[in-house]
Amino acid sequence: MNELLARSLEASTVFLLAALGELVNQRSGILNVGLEGLMLFGGTAAFLVAQSTGSYPAGLAAGIAVGGLLGWIHGLFSIRLRGDQVVSGMGLWILSFGLTTYLGSPHTGPLGLPRFPALVGLSPFVYCGTLLVAAVWFVLSRTSLGLAIRSVGESPAAAAASGVNVAGIRYLCVVFGGTLAGLAGAAYTLSYNPVWNYNFLMGWGFVSLALVFFSMWNPWVLLGGSVLFGAMWQLSLSPEYVLPGVLSRYVWRTVPFGVTIAILTVISTPWFRTRWGLAKPQALGVPYTD
């Protein structure tokens, strides 16, 4: 049971890292639906580099760097070229899917390194993710940079008129989102499940994306949601723990999506909006032209 808990916390962390980065870039107004692609690419890069150098730090660095680079490319399309963010994100996902398959298939199989070191029985990523949540919350709500990020995502014209560099802030956030997606991919392929398969993520990125909407763009809710989603995902792998034989694992896996759809429906009702205000950044997905 303890093992299951540790595993589900580790799964939660993969969701959490990716979703936290996406949360930050969405708060600045940039939607990256290609999260799955960034995670695939970051994970594959981390796996290949760690395998060839035998070094976990090198693998992690590669995952983070590739994620950041892809985030920057998404920024280039959606900020500089003012393209459609959904199209750019989907393009990145398809590109990453294809390229990682091409680069990774010769290395299909286990990583072949000693197990990723644990810290007090848990993967170090779990601690790292929790600290990052606190850091992101602090920056967004207590610092001037955070105010600039939130303003750019709500009303870029107002931010620009206040002297905020809208494009600069958005680049910063989209690259940050990319590095965390790369880190999430690396956490998956180096620690959670250190085996390379064709399309090894199978939707983890999309669950993370759903998690951001679920969290209503609040890092602490995101943390709670990721634990919930991680546990549900882990349970779907071991359905014998919950109501054995009732539903197949594939049905269990749809539960996070079902929950997210329910949440999205509730937060978009006039009833919710008049009581809690608008949770969604108003300029999300809208290119800024001055």
Partner 1 sequence: MTPELEHRTPPPVLAARGISKSFPGVRALDRVDLEVAEGEVHAVLGQNGAGKTTLMNILFGLIHPDEGEVYLRGRRVRFRSPHDALASGIGMVHQTRRLVPAHTVLENLVLGHPRARGLLDLRRARQELEALCARYGVHVDLGARVWQLSEGEKQWVEILKALYAGVRILILDEPTSALTPPEVQALLRALRALVDQDGVTVVLVTHKLPVVRAVARTVTVLRAGRVAARLSVSDTTDHELVQHMVGQEVTLPTVQAPDHRGPVVLEVEDLSAYNDKGVLSLRGVSLTVHEGEIVGVAGVTGNGQEELAQVLAGLRPAVSGRVRLLGRDVTHLPTLDRWRLGLGYVPAERTEVASVAALSLVENTGLNYHFDPEFCPRGMLDRARLERLTRQILATFRVKAPHPYVRAQHLSGGNLQKLVLGRVLSRQPRLLVAHLPTQGLDVEAASFVRAQLLEAKARGAAVLLISEDLDEIFAVSDRVGALYEGRFVALVPRNEADPETVGAWMAGSLGRRA
The CA distances from residue 182 to 4, 62, 269, in Å, are 25, 8, 34
- Which region holds residue 29: left if phi is over 0, alpha if psi is between -120 and 50, else beta? left
Q: Whole-number minimum distance, CB 201 to partner 1, in Å?
A: 34
Q: Whole-number minimum distance, CB 29 to partner 1, in Å?
A: 12
The phi, psi pair for 195, rounded to 5°, reads -135, 130
Q: Which of 196, 212, 199 is nearest to 52 (CA)?
A: 196
Q: Is 163 in the site for partner 1 (CB under 8 A)?
A: yes
Neighbours of 135 (CB within 10 A): 12
Q: Is 189 in the site for partner 1 (CB under 8 A)?
A: no
Residue of the chain from 70, 126, 164, 175 that contacts partner 1 (CB under 8 A): 164
Q: Is 158 or 266 the residue whose CB approaches partner 1 more closely? A: 158
Q: Whole-number minimum distance, CB 148 to partner 1, in Å?
A: 7
Q: Is 10 or 154 the residue whose CB approaches partner 1 more closely? A: 154
- Residue at 78: amino acid letter: S
Q: Is 5 or 158 the residue whose CB approaches partner 1 more closely? A: 158
Residue of the chain from 81, 87, 134, 161 that contacts partner 1 (CB under 8 A): 161
- Reported as type and span, the H/E element at residue 110 is strand 109-110
Q: Angle at CA 17, nearest 5°, toward 13 and 19?
A: 110
Q: Is 142 or 249 the residue whose CB approaches partner 1 more closely? A: 142
Q: Return the beta strands (E) in 24-76 as ranges.
A: none
d(CA 21, CA 157): 24
Q: Is 244 or 277 the residue whose CB approaches partner 1 more closely? A: 277
Q: Is 12 in the site for partner 1 (CB under 8 A)?
A: no
Which residue has 């937060």 as its token pair?
A: 267
Q: Which stretch binds partner 1 (CB under 8 A): 109-117, 175-183, 258-266, 275-283?
A: 275-283
| Cα 244 off chain centre by | 31
Of residues 98-157, which lie at the interface with partner 1 (CB under 8 A)? 142-148, 150-151, 154-155, 157
Contact present, 189 and 49 (Cβ < 8 Å): no
Q: Is 278 in the site for partner 1 (CB under 8 A)?
A: yes
Q: Which stretch binds partner 1 (CB under 8 A): 14-22, 80-88, 120-128, 277-285?
A: 277-285
Q: Write out the residues near partner 1 by the rule CB under 8 A.
A: 142-148, 150-151, 154-155, 157-165, 270, 274, 277-278, 282, 290
